[in-house]
Every structure is written in structure tokens, then in C-alpha cells.
Amino acid sequence: MADRISWLPDEILCHILSFLPTHDAFATSLLSKRWKPLWRSGPTLFFDDQNYIINNHKPYDCFSKFIYRAIRNRYPHLPITSFRLQCGASSFNLSDSDVTTWVNSAIQCGIENLHIELPSSDPVLCFRSSVFSCKTLVVLKLKGLDIDEFSIFDLPSLKTLNLIDVSFEKPQYLMELLSGCQILEDMRLRFIYCGYSSTPCNNNLTRFSKLVRADIHAIGLDIPLKEICNVEFLHIDKVCIYV
């Protein structure tokens, strides 16, 4: 049977590989010399611990090593438009420095979409990254992380913000993050914890003039309703709001 897929241009093959977890895309390099360099040119990195461990029958520390190897072996001059890290195994132990290093590497390559999903049952990671001042980021989705320090929140291109089971050391951090998203269109905040601060939190937000959808559930901070009341789709549950 003829190999019709290999007849396709490299651009189309790279686009197809971008829908696969990076480990599966890497596996195609074994098909032939034609396929060997293609995974290195893809614009997306998608790491799924369960996919990797089940398919390889390897321990969890090999997953972390593979991520470093995949980032290092990409063509450095090509952009990374999407970085996704999905860890569904509750026993998998990531380090704060590992996640931060991976994300910062993607930021240097012009990342537009960042998605990190960690098990809610595990201790959250302290996320220290320059992602919160990334000028190119359009979509940010975080789950199971602890934001305990920052330099500045400035996301001028961000349109989608999705935070689930995220903890902020101080309430002001969440407010400053939201204030740094001036063109936000889609906002989802669920199960957000804000630590205690002796300094009063400034709840003044710039009105989200472009916000279309807002889903707010169980967050540890009062939200000014007047700043989100102009949305087309609004869901609020277990939240203290004021006018």
C-alpha cells in the first residue's frame, strides 16, 4: 500500500503532529529519515504524563527528563505557539523549578497558549514565572498552582483566562492579575483561594470592556459586579459581590 501521508508537504505533516502529545509526535521520527526532523519543527508542545507512562512503561522521573530533552532538541529558531502540561497521576511529583524552567523556555519562543493542569488532590506547586508579563500570550489556563510571588502582571494580548484550584499568597495578586488583562474576552475563575494580608486589598478594577463570558465560582475575594455586568454570558456562584 502506498504511503500517501508521506507525500504531503512538511507544513501539513507538522500541523497534523501538533494535535498529538509530544511523545507520540516524537515516535514518528522512527518511521523514516523523512519523518525524523518533523517533530522538531512543530509549533506546539503537549506533555501528558499518563500518555507517556502508559505507552512507555517507565517511571515518573523519566517523564520529566523527556520534557527537558524535547525542549532542548527542538529547532531553537522556530516559535512555540502552544505549551500544554497535563499531569493526571496524583503520585507524580513535579518540582517548582522544573515547571518554571519549561514555561520560561516557551515564553522566549513567543508562546500564545499556555495550559498547565495538575491534580487538585496534590500539593500545589509554587509557580514563579515571567508568564504574567508575557506580551504574546493570548490564552492562559492554570489548574493546581500556587502564585506566591510576582514582579508585574501585564498581559496586553490575553483574551482567555481560566484559573481552577489556584492559590494566591495575597488577595492583591489576583486583583492585579485581573487588572493586567485589559482586552480579556473569556474569564473563568473557580475555587480560587487568596491568603491573608494585613494590607487592605484594592478592589478597584478597570472595566472589562471586551469581556463576553464570565464564570465565577467559589473565590476568596469580593468581586465588583459593575466591572463585569456588561458581559453576554455570566455565571456567578458562591461569590461575595458588591455594586
% pLDDT > 90, the chain? 16
Residue position matching grid coordinates 494590607: 199
Cell representation of residue 56: 512507555
* Interatomic CA distance for residues 109 and 239, integer angstroms: 38
Across the chain, mean pLDDT equals 80
Coil, strand or helix at 133: helix
> What pTM was computed for the model?
0.84
Q: How confident is the model at residue 1 (pLDDT cuts 50, 70, 90)?
A: very low
Residues 118-148 pLDDT 10s: 876 555 566 767 888 899 999 999 998 888 7
Tell me which residue has cell 473563568.
188
Q: Residue for cell digits 530533552?
A: 69
Q: Cα separation of 220 and 180, whole Å?
A: 19
Specify the higher pLDDT residue, 152 or 176. 176
Question: What distance in Å separates the CA atoms of residue 220 and residue 238, rounded to the nearest whole number?
Answer: 10
Average pLDDT over residues 164-169: 87
**Rounded-to-10 torsion of CA 137, 143, 145, 151:** 20
- pLDDT attached to residue 78: 83
Rounded CA-CA distance 53/223 in Å is 41
pLDDT at site 149: 67
What pLDDT sits at residue 18?
75
- Longest Cα–Cα distance of the chain, Å, equals 71
Provide the terminal-to-terminal Cα distance of the chain, rounded to the nearest Å: 68
Task: Tell me the C-alpha to C-alpha distance, in Å, between residue 67 and each of 45, 100, 124, 166, 171.
Answer: 9, 12, 20, 23, 33
Is the pLDDT at 234 greater than 80? The verdict is yes
- 105: its cell numbers: 523556555
Mean pLDDT within 80-108: 81
* Cell digits of residue 180: 493586567
23-47 pLDDT tens trace: 787 777 767 677 777 778 788 899 9
Confidence of residue 111 (pLDDT cuts 50, 70, 90): very high
Q: What is the pLDDT of residue 36?
A: 74
- Domains in the chain: boundaries: 42-242
